[in-house]
C-alpha cells in the first residue's frame, strides 16, 4: 500500500504575502519565473482558496510571459528557452484553471478565453496539449492510488 505523506508549513505562512511575492517573481528573470510557475501549481492544489483571492494580481505577469516574443535575431537557445517559459506558464494556468469555482474570478476567465484559448490564438494548441497531458497524468496517478 502506497502512503503519501506531505509535510507543509502553510499554516505558518502569510499566504497573501507569499502570493504577492510570487507575483513579483513572475516579472523577474527566466529561472525565477520558472520557480514561480512551480509554486503556483503547488498552491493550486494546497491553497486554492487563497490563490483565487489573489489571482487578479497574477494575471498581467502571466499574460506578459505567455505572450512574450524573442527578438528578431535571437539564437536557437533563446527561442527554446522562451518556448519552455511559455509552456511552464501555461502549465501554471492549467493548474489554476482546475481549481473549483475559478470562473468566479472573471478577469482570469477572460484572460484564459481571450489570450490563450480563443480560436486562431497561437497559444490555444499548446494549452490544449498541456491540459491533455495534465489530465492523463492525473488519471494515471488516480489509477495508481487505487491499485
| pLDDT tens readout for residues 83-110 | 999 999 999 999 999 999 999 999 999 9
Q: What is the mean pLDDT of the segment spanning 21-41? A: 97
CB proximity list for 133: less than 8 A, separation 6 or greater: none
Q: What architecture does CATH give domain 10-146?
A: Up-down Bundle (1.20)
Quick: pLDDT tens for 53-88.
999 999 999 999 999 999 988 999 999 999 999 999
Query: Which grid coordinates belong to 67?
Result: 505572450
Burial of 132 (0-12, 13-18, 19+ CB in 10 A): exposed
| Chain center to CA of 57 | 14
> 5 pLDDT band (50/70/90 cuts)?
very low
Q: In the prediction, which pLDDT does 7 show?
A: 53
Please report, for the chain, the start and end positions of each structural domain, with discontinuous segments joined by +. 10-146
Amino acid at each position: 500500500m502506497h502512503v503519501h505523506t506531505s509535510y507543509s508549513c502553510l499554516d505558518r505562512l502569510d499566504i497573501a504575502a507569499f502570493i504577492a511575492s510570487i507575483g513579483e517573481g513572475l516579472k523577474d528573470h527566466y529561472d525565477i519565473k520558472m520557480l514561480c510557475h512551480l509554486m503556483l501549481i503547488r498552491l493550486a492544489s494546497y491553497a486554492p482558496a487563497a490563490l483565487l483571492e489573489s489571482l487578479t494580481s497574477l494575471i498581467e505577469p502571466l499574460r506578459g510571459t505567455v505572450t512574450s516574443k524573442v527578438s528578431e535575431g535571437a539564437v536557437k537557445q533563446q527561442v527554446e528557452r522562451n518556448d519552455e517559459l511559455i509552456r511552464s506558464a501555461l502549465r501554471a494556468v492549467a493548474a489554476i484553471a482546475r481549481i473549483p469555482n475559478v470562473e468566479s474570478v472573471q478577469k482570469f476567465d477572460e484572460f484564459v478565453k481571450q489570450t490563450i484559448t480563443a480560436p486562431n490564438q497561437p497559444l490555444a494548441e499548446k494549452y490544449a496539449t498541456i491540459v491533455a497531458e495534465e489530465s492523463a497524468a492525473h488519471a494515471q496517478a488516480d489509477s495508481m492510488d487505487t491499485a
